[in-house]
Each structure stands twice: as C-alpha cells, then as structure tokens.
Amino acid sequence: MYLVIVESPTKSRIISKFLSRDYKVLSSYGHIRDLPKSELGVDIERNFKPKYVIPAKARKIVKQLKESTQKADLIILAVDSDREGEAIAWHLAQILNLNGKKPYQRIVFHEITKKAIEEALKNPRKIDLKLVNAQQARRILDRLVGYKLSPFLWKKVVRGLSAGRVQSVAVRLIVDREREIEKFKPEEYWSIEAKLQQRTANSEQRTVKNEFLAKLIKQNGQTIPKLGIKTKEAADKILKDLEEAEYKAVDILKKEIKKYPLPPFITSALQQEAAQKLRFSAKQTMRLAQQLYEGVELGKKGSGGLITYHRTDSLNLSTEALKATQTFIKNQFGRSYALEAPRVYKTKSKTAQEAHEAIRPTQVNYQPENIKQYLDKQQYKLYDLIWRRFIACQMPPAIFDSTVINIQAKNYTFRTAGQILKFDGFLKVYPMKFSEAILPSLTKDEILELIKLIKEQHFTQPPARYSEATLIKTLEEHGIGRPSTYAPIISTILDRGYVEKNEQRKFFPAEIGFIVNDLLVENFPEIVDVNFTAQMENNLDKVATGEKEWVPVLRDFYKPFEENLSKKYQEVEKKKLEEPTDKKCPKCGLPLVIKLGRFGKFYACSGFPECKHTEPIVISTGAVCPKCVEGDIIERKTKKGKVFYSCSRWPKCDFALWDKPTGEKCPKCESLLVQEKNNKIKCSNKECRYAQIKARP
C-alpha cells in the first residue's frame, strides 16, 4: 500500500479519485508542527535552533498518520510546491521518521488533475532543504521580532499590543500616507475648453452641426502646464484675448493604435483585480482560489482542480496549455482572434520560481458559464475572472482608429482627440474601459465655428488612501512580502486594530496605530524601513536558492537588533496615554480618565488597580430613540469593528440601525431618516419607501 499525504481534506478527496486502490490518500490538515505559543521557542545561543511542538489540534491527526505509515510500503508527500508546502513535507518526514525506517518520495504538481498527478508520481524527488530553510528562517525571524518587540510595547505603551516584522512596514506606509494627506494644501488651477462645431451639408442640403470639445494646451507655442492657469483673473484674461478669434484646424493626425491584453494572473495581480472588479478582500480571494485549486465536483464531467497553483509570482505558461488555448480560441471565436504563435510573458521578478506557472484554468474548455451550476456565486466570479484573463492573454490586441486635431486660435492652441474601436481582439473576452469619442471629419485649415468658451475651476487633490489593491501593489513594488504573505499581512494589521477601513474601503490609521508606528520609527528604524525589509526578503530568497545560509542571515539581523532593544528599554519613557475628565466613577466616586487601548479610547477609573471600572466612550448622533423616547441614538461597533447605531439605554432598549440617523423624521411615516453609505437619505422604516431624490453632499 502506498500512502499519499496532502495538507487538505478536499485535496485528499479529489486526488484519491485519480489513483488506484493501491493508494491511500490522507490529509495532515495543514501544519503538524510549529513553534510553541507560550515561549520564544528559539535557542539563540545554539544557532537559533527552533523548538518545534505538535499543537493540540494536530495530535489526533499525527497519531492517525503514524498508524497508517506503519502499514504502508512507501510514503508519498504531495503537499503544496512552495516554501510553506516544502516545510510541511519536512515536518512530516521528521515526525513519521521517513528516510529512517520508512522510505519516502516527494512529488510536486501545479494543478490537481489526473494527468498532473500521474506525471508527478513518475518524477519523484527528495525534500528541498533550501526551501525548508528559507521558510524556517522567515518563521524564526518573525518570532524573534514579535516576541522581543511586543513586551517592549507593553511596557512603554499599553498591554496587548504586538509588533510584526513585515506588518509594521505596512502600517508605516498607511501612516505616512495619512500624514501626507493631512499636510496637503490644495492648489487652485483653471482649465479652458472651446466648444466648437463644423458646418457641413448632407445630400438634402440640410445643415448638420457636428459639435465637439477641444482643450487649451499651448500659448505662444509653449505648453501650458496643469497648474499654469492659477486664478480666475488669469483665465478671464485668456478668454478676453480670444474674443474675435478665428478657430482653424491646423494639424490632423490619424493613426492606428493597438491595445494589448494584460498578462495572466500572478498572486498579487489576482488580489488587486479581484479587489477592484469584485470587491473581494485579499483574504477572501485567496480562500476562493484555494477552493478552485483544490478541486470541485463537476457532475458527469468528474472532479478536479479548476485552476493551477494560486501562490505564484511567475508568468510562465506550459506549452501544452498554450497549444490547447490556441485551438480553443480558433474554434470558439474564429481564426482572426487567434495568434499565429503563443504569446510568452517574461517574469519581472528576479526571485520568481520559473518552474511554477501563472494562475490559469486547468482546462480551457471549462468555460465559466458551462460549469456555473457547480460553483457558488463567489467561486464563479473568481473563476470567470481567471479564465477570461488567461484566454485574453493569448488573443490579438484591440485596434482603434485614433485622431488628434490641433486647432489654432490667435496665439493659442487647442487640442481634441478621439478614437473608434476597429477590431475588438482580446476585448471580446476580457472587457476593459477604453473611451470612444467620435470626431467630425475635418480637413486641414478648415475654419470652425465657436459655440462657447468654458472655463472651469479645479483644485489639486491629496494622494489617495491605500485600498487593499493599491497596498498590495506598493508592497510588491518595494519587494516586501511574497505571494503567500500579502493576505495575512492585511488581515493582521486590521485584527490588531492598528488600521481601519472607511466606508470607501480605504485604510486609515487608528490612533494606537499612529502611536506604535511613531515609537518604532524613532527607536527601531530598521524594523519599519522599506528598503531594509526588502533586503531581508531578498536574503530569504537567496537562502531558498542556496546562495546564502540561513543561520548567518539571522545572526546578522539579530545581534544589532538585540543590542538596540536593550538600550531602548533604558532610554524610552512610558507613553502617557491618559486624559482627565469631569466624569465620576459610578463604583467608587473617583474621577474617570480616558485611556487608550489597542481598540481605541475608553473610560477607566483613576483608582485602578483598586477599582477596575471601565466603560465605552459613545458618540451621540443627536437623534432621540424612537422606541423608548428616553435614550439617544449613539454610534457603536461590533466585535469585528463594523459601525452601527443603537439606543444608549441598551440592553433595556434594543433599538438599532446599520445606517446613521440624520436626526430628522420621515415626512410620510414619522420614522427616523437615515443616511446610507452613498449619502442617499431614506426612511429607516422598511415598509416606507420614502427617499430624498437629491442626496446630501
């Protein structure tokens, strides 16, 4: 009997259907060993030797695996093919005493299909210790930073805080962006457009007006910069100069423009696109991608993984997949939509594992619509996105006919541009926003009629807050994190309460996030330095390729870090995070103070620790509770941080709303009016359909 061990029960179920009865497939249910939670678990003096333990939840699984191992003739480790998977394989080998009394094989595959599994079984290998060491070094490094820095934060700020090596850099990016926004001073500028028309005659000799807009771009032959017209007076002067001006089409440039498809997805690109198009969080995207990778039951079609491995930074595509795609496109859309030769993409990242593939469907013939019934709504949306992106990357470019016209009026130049889609190409499968603007057919030196000049005031905008998509993109551009870490980074900084999301799903720092970030920036600059963290990621990559040894990498980091930490314990004073108030403690009568905890501010008795009374700080909306008519409607948060509004007399009164009350009553039914996230005002009574036509700003 051959025992195959994977890390997921779903994966186990699907793979078992591909193999004969000679094989038994079991799951380890993820990691079966880790560093202990209750102690550092790293012997620094003995070359950072880790102390691994079997978590309580994994003990039953380990016992079952050991029993099955004793009965097996050969153990086949078929866990994922990245560093994390290689580490799981190594821990299994250690616990099950493989290569000691029991022989083993390590197999890897990038898609869960019958053909891929059979091919992997024909090409076994041993565990790659370089990959194991890279994962082990990352785990130990993160443990050292977390376990050493967190007590420092408890002592100098408040208990319950924690610090992370990569997460702290992400928080810094968000804090720095927020301060940019706070310091930003908008600048006024003006734009000027001419609304013009061409007069032509049709076959019936009727006059046809072709109107279009042209933007002012030059004065005296010099380009006017974006902020070149700074005041209304300057704009008015230009408008006065243009009085009695003749508008002539002096340059007409026509050309064909090609828009090429985007490459297939890698992990970071998938997370960004799913956030922008589907409003999925990075964590949600990875969960769904895992399900699609591990396999889905497809009725009479059988079962198997729908996409290749989803943790990848490689743009490589298999020759077999490219050939199948070329045939599919010809049959489905016609020869004009197929390429003469497959399009090959070059991976930008120097550290990408080229043996991996980009994320693609395992079977191009599994069109999303044809298997929709076997997927849930979210799985379908993500699969549809992946399938279309891959098919599109092997299709010809979209072709536009572009026209640019320069129009002279005295010493001023206006410009208008338009484009018309000539051939949709890849857009047939993967729609993207390309503006189409049809211009009248003008001839050189043709005189145009001015309808009116339009001046418009603008103000420069501050840099935008990070969304999940833009934060991942920034981390990737700086070389921070790897395909498997982006989603955990974001989840961690949200769970710790260092950052929050606003109604537009953009990140902003919580007050405690500012405090912790500033403390780390001032005293541990390397920990939160973008370049330093990127260099550490690069060192870990070199461990994975065998260019560096993991112990010296850790030693080079830890020695100066420990010395600085010891010094800072002496130098840094505890932050005073209390504010006096006029409120009295209801238990002992002493004054209440405002304290800052990891989840924000709260009232606490100044007599602590003798008196441990605390109470939340509530924000009143100014609206009276319509149910009890005694309490006020106040802002509260769920345990997950979602804002809602309820009666201040809760739990005596259970009135609650998700939308913020305006303080006004519905003119139809007298219920409270509320303001939705899109600023629309409506009645809180679900049976009343009143809504204001015009939303409040």
Question: Which is catalytic among the residues 104, 247, 309, 412?
Answer: 309
Sheet with strand 600-605: strands edge to edge: 579-584, 591-597, 600-605, 614-616
Do 12 and 104 form a contact (C-beta atoms < 8 A)? no
Do 158 and 576 form a contact (C-beta atoms < 8 A)? no
What is the SS3 assignment for 203-219?
CCCCEEEEEEEEEEEEE
In angstroms, the CA 627 to CA 642 distance is: 23
In angstroms, the CA 299 to CA 373 distance is: 10
Do 169 and 528 form a contact (C-beta atoms < 8 A)? yes
Phi, psi of 602 (to 5 degrees): -155, 160
In angstroms, the CA 456 to CA 238 distance is: 13
Buried b (16+ CB within 10 A) or exposed e, 66-92: eebbeebebbbbbbbbbbbbbbbbbbb
Long-range own/partner contacts, residues 487-493 (CB < 8 A, 24 or more apart): 487/271, 487/281, 487/282, 487/283, 487/285, 487/286, 488/283, 489/166, 489/167, 489/170, 490/170, 490/281, 490/282, 490/283, 491/282, 491/283, 492/164, 492/167, 493/167, 493/170, 493/171, 493/174
CA-angle at 277, arms to 276 and 279, nearest 5°: 65
CA-angle at 475, arms to 469 and 477, nearest 5°: 100
Q: Is 385 helix (H, G, I), strand (E, B) or coil?
A: helix
Do 150 and 142 form a contact (C-beta atoms < 8 A)? no
Q: DSSP states of 278-330 as a string?
A: H---HHHHHHHHHHHHH-EE-GGG-EE-SB--SS-------HHHHHHHHHHHH
Strand partners of residue 69: none
Q: Strands 447-459 and 23-27, how do they pair?
A: unpaired
Active site includes 466?
Answer: no
Sheet with strand 681-683: strands edge to edge: 660-665, 672-675, 681-683
Residue carrying structure tokens 């208990």: 159
Do 557 and 536 form a contact (C-beta atoms < 8 A)? yes
Token pair belonging to 526: 């390397």
In angstroms, the CA 244 to CA 367 distance is: 61
Alpha-carbon torsion angle 224, 229, 230, 231, nearest 10: 170
Q: Is 49 helix (H, G, I), strand (E, B) or coil?
A: strand
Strand locations in 59-112, DSSP E?
74-77, 104-106
Do 516 and 161 form a contact (C-beta atoms < 8 A)? yes
CA-angle at 129, arms to 485 and 107, nearest 5°: 85
Q: Distance from first CA to last CA of the chain, Å, rounded?
A: 70
- Of the candidates 138, 268, 142, the one whose C-alpha atom is nearest the C-alpha of residue 538 is 138
Phi, psi of 656 (to 5 degrees): -150, 155
For residue 560, the surrounding DSSP H or E stretch is helix 550-571
Active site residue ranges: 309
